[in-house]
């Protein structure tokens, strides 16, 4: 019997591990050896990409959005290093350029690919809701995804041909170290223009594809999302885009392609842009939108029904080097650049009708004119129309000048309310040596008239040091920071009645709003005055204003987060009207420059003091907000106008249904029914409230507004 060698006793009792199957390794890597299919992206999509949605089952059709064929074809160009596409939502740009581009790479030309979305959350959403459904609907693509560990993560996937697909977001980690052949920047204008201080996304992306030589490609697509940087800009070439950061800045670097239709009637080419849509003005935005037509430069009317055939016959034309003529993409005279760029507007969008375009625009315009909020207007211009946004307040240009305001001023008397007046407000600004007071009357639709402006410069006779000399002048000026007693001068403002023209009534102010900031000492005195008003039943007629750059709302009535510089402390008996001054100043400017009477119009009298016009024109709108034209220039009238609009917002004046007489607030009814009305002197019952306001059981209010 042979003895067992000693080394055998140390062998493991379990069988050895299975080694990788050489056949499987070869099959997984065959993609590297297989020659690339030399077809472009739209050709691959129409022959290989299957769509499975609730509305459509079948192969991709290029004629659905024919304007996307040329841009997606250029995604495999060896001449250009980048494709830039600027267009509205609902044009199928992300499907054509991004998803079809990825599918083409997986099947036809495997290579490392990076997709950059605007945020980490949007990258996750793209992976789960865009890419994954495409792979599930296309078995040939799904079969090329590897099954090894780490091949199917949310932000990284592996495919045959040694292809890594990375789905990232705009941080420098995705734009450094690794090299890619194909980089996609999707929704570019929702990304920052400077990635972690290293540069703009397009430049960084092109650097990542540089090692691939002429095979490298960057695709950038988005709807315009940036504000036009220059108010008085005019194009210097046929297709130059307005000066903007981000996407349109990149578009201007390229060939500057624009999509042209041929008019079905006259045959002449033209660009189908939003400004060529015309409609009749009807009672509602929806009714107006149903009358929309496209009008070519020769005056031919084109109905919505011709849109499909015009898109199919349309053509992309690019600038030549001199920018004075255009040519097709393969013309040798095309603008000399390594970026091929495209730009179109909402009327051509395959999944958006002209009626929808116009209806959304008119609704947003109506919202802006009613409330001054331009968020909906900006959204429909950038997303639906595919155009960059020029804020309305800046499109007015230099019209908010002292001369313009004087030219728009009207001949009406001061200290008398307009016949259309429904209520009156008082605004008070705090200066070192005076209270600056502005009185406005308000009508239906918040039409507004400035009816009084004056300073209170002398302290009340009962205040310390307020003794009068032989001429009746106080020996000192008002000092709101040092003397709380000086605030007594504001009490009478609540009871000062202004006659309503054409009636036998006068109206007292529904409420007063006072600036709460200024020199040290002003804020505690303002809080003390508000406590006095609360104690005497006037709390719903006295408000304190405070500007807040962090406020998302236009105005909000709430407790201050910091009281008298003591962090973390709140005083429950104090509430301030926090104001987003930039937003409300935008609204003031629009109201002042509206020429026609009606909702939102802000009327000025020719008889107002001269400084009112200069104060209203003392600031200029910049991208960062409103700024003084000259350091230290007075702006009291501008601030007081903002306080008044904020006060009306807090009083819920914007939600009043002026057509519903019985349900109108008692303080916003006509003068003969208004709870703040008094008969003018000479009537049977002078200075007496005609309709006392309702009394709350919790607390008796003097001229309460609720």
Q: What angle do CA 555, 556, 561 make, to 5 degrees?
A: 125
- 539-584 pLDDT, tens digit per residue, is 899 999 999 877 888 999 998 865 445 555 555 678 999 999 999 9
- Residue span(s) of the chain under CATH 3.30.420 come to 410-679
Residues 6+ positions from 379 with CB-CB distance below 8 Å: 364
* pLDDT at site 701: 33
Helix (H) or strand (E) holding 547: strand 542-547
pLDDT interval class at 705 (50, 70, 90): very low
Q: Is 567 left (phi over 0), alpha (psi -120 to 50) or beta?
A: beta
CATH number of this structure's domain 35-63+90-220, picked from the four choices 3.40.50.300, 2.102.10.10, 3.40.605.10, 3.40.50.970: 3.40.50.300
Beta bridge partners of 546: 578
Looking at beta carbons, which pairs linking 678-684 to residues 24 or more positions away fall under 8 Å?
A: 678/497, 678/505, 678/506, 678/507, 678/508, 679/504, 679/505, 679/506, 680/499, 680/504, 680/505, 680/506, 683/504
- 123-180 pLDDT, tens digit per residue, is 999 999 999 999 999 999 999 999 888 899 999 999 999 999 999 999 999 998 899 9
86 phi and psi, to 5 degrees?
A: -115, 115
C-alpha dihedral, 165 to 169 to 173 to 179, nearest 10°? 30
pLDDT interval class at 696 (50, 70, 90): very low
SS3 of residue 506 by DSSP:
strand
Q: Does domain 410-679 have CATH number 3.30.420?
A: yes
Rounded distance between C-alpha atoms, residue 695 and residue 569, angstroms:
33
Distances (CA, A) of 106 to 50, 209, 356, 522, 573: 15, 17, 37, 69, 66
Residues 6+ positions from 112 with CB-CB distance below 8 Å: 163, 164, 165, 166, 178, 179, 180, 181, 182
Tell me which DSSP letter residue 128 carries: I
* pLDDT at site 438: 98
- Return the higher-pLDDT residue of 568 and 19: 19
- Return the higher-pLDDT residue of 299 and 549: 299
Residues 6+ positions from 19 with CB-CB distance below 8 Å: none
* pLDDT at site 568: 52
* pLDDT at site 700: 32
Closest CA to 274 of 291, 295, 290: 295
Angle of helix 636-650 relative to helix 581-593, nearest 10 degrees, comes to 100
Put simply, whether the predicted model's pTM sits higher than 0.85 gets the answer no
Of how many residues is the chain composed? 706
Spatial contact of 102 and 274, defined as CB atoms under 8 Å apart: no
For residue 641, pLDDT over 90 is answered with yes
Average pLDDT over residues 468-497: 89
The mean pLDDT of the chain is 89
Average pLDDT over residues 574-597: 92
């Amino acid at each position: 019997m042979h003895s067992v060698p000693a080394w055998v006793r140390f062998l493991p009792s379990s069988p050895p591990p299975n080694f990788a199957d050489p056949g499987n390794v070869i099959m997984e890597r065959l993609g590297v050896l297989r020659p690339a299919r030399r077809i472009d992206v739209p050709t691959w999509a129409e022959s290989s990409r299957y769509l499975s949605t609730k509305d459509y089952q079948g192969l991709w059709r290029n004629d659905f959005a024919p304007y996307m064929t040329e841009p997606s074809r250029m995604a495999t160009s060896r001449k250009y290093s980048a494709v830039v596409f600027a267009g509205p939502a609902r044009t199928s740009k992300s499907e054509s350029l991004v998803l079809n581009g990825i599918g083409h790479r997986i099947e036809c030309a495997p290579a490392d690919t990076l997709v950059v979305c605007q945020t980490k959350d949007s990258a996750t959403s793209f992976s789960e809701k865009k890419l994954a459904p495409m792979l599930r609907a296309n078995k040939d693509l799904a079969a090329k995804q590897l099954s090894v560990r780490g091949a199917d993560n949310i932000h990284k996937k592996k495919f045959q041909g040694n292809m890594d697909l990375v789905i990232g977001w705009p941080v420098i980690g995705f734009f450094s170290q690794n090299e890619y052949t194909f980089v996609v920047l999707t929704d570019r204008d929702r990304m920052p223009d400077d990635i972690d201080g290293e540069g703009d996304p397009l430049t960084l992306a092109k650097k990542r594809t540089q090692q691939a030589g002429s095979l490298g490609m960057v695709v950038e697509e988005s709807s315009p999302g940036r504000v036009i940087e220059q108010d008085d800009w005019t194009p210097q070439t046929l297709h130059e885009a307005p000066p903007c950061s981000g996407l349109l800045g990149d578009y201007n670097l390229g060939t500057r392609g624009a999509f042209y239709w041929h008019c079905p009637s006259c045959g002449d080419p033209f660009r189908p842009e939003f400004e060529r849509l015309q409609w009749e003005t009807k009672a509602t935005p929806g009714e107006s939108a149903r009358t929309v037509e496209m009008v070519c430069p020769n005056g031919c009317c084109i109905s919505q029904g011709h849109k499909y055939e015009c898109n199919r016959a349309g053509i992309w034309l690019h600038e030549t080097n001199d920018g004075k003529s255009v040519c097709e993409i393969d013309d040798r005279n095309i603008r000399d650049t390594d970026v091929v760029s495209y730009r179109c507007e909402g009327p051509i969008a395959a999944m958006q009708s002209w009626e929808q375009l116009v209806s959304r625009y008119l609704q947003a315009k109506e919202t802006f004119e009613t409330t001054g909020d331009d968020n909906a207007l900006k959204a429909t211009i950038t997303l639906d129309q595919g155009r960059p946004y020029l804020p309305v307040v800046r499109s007015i240009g230099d019209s908010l000048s002292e001369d313009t305001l004087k030219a728009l001023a009207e001949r009406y008397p001061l200290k008398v309310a307009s016949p259309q007046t429904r209520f009156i407000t008082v605004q008070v600004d705090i200066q070192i040596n005076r209270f600056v007071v502005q009185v406005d009357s308000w009508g239906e639709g918040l039409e507004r008239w400035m009816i009084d402006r004056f300073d209170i410069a002398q302290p009340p006779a009962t205040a310390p040091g307020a003794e009068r000399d032989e001429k009746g002048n106080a020996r000192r000026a008002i000092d709101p920071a040092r003397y709380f007693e000086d605030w007594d001068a504001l009490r009478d403002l609540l009871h000062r009645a202004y006659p309503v023209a054409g009636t036998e009534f006068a109206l007292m102010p529904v409420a007063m709003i006072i600036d709460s900031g200024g020199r040290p000492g002003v804020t505690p005195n303002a809080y003390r005055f508000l406590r006095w008003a609360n104690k005497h039943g006037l709390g719903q007629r006295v408000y304190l204003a405070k500007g807040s750059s962090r406020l998302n709302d236009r105005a909000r009535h709430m407790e201050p987060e910091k009281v008298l510089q003591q962090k973390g402390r709140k005083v429950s008996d104090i509430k301030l009207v926090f104001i987003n001054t930039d937003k409300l100043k935008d609204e003031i400017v629009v109201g002042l420059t509206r020429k026609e009477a009606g909702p939102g119009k802000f009327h000025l009298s020719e008889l107002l003091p001269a400084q009112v016009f200069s104060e209203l024109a003392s600031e200029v709108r910049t991208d960062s907000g409103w700024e003084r034209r000259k350091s230290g220039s007075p702006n009291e009238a501008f601030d007081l106008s903002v306080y008044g609009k904020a006060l009306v917002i807090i009083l819920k004046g914007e939600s009043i249904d002026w057509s519903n007489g019985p349900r109108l607030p008692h303080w916003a009814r006509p003068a003969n029914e208004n709870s703040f009305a008094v008969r003018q002197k000479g009537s049977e019952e002078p200075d007496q409230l005609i309709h006392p306001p309702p009394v709350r059981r919790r607390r008796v209010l003097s001229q309460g507004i609720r």
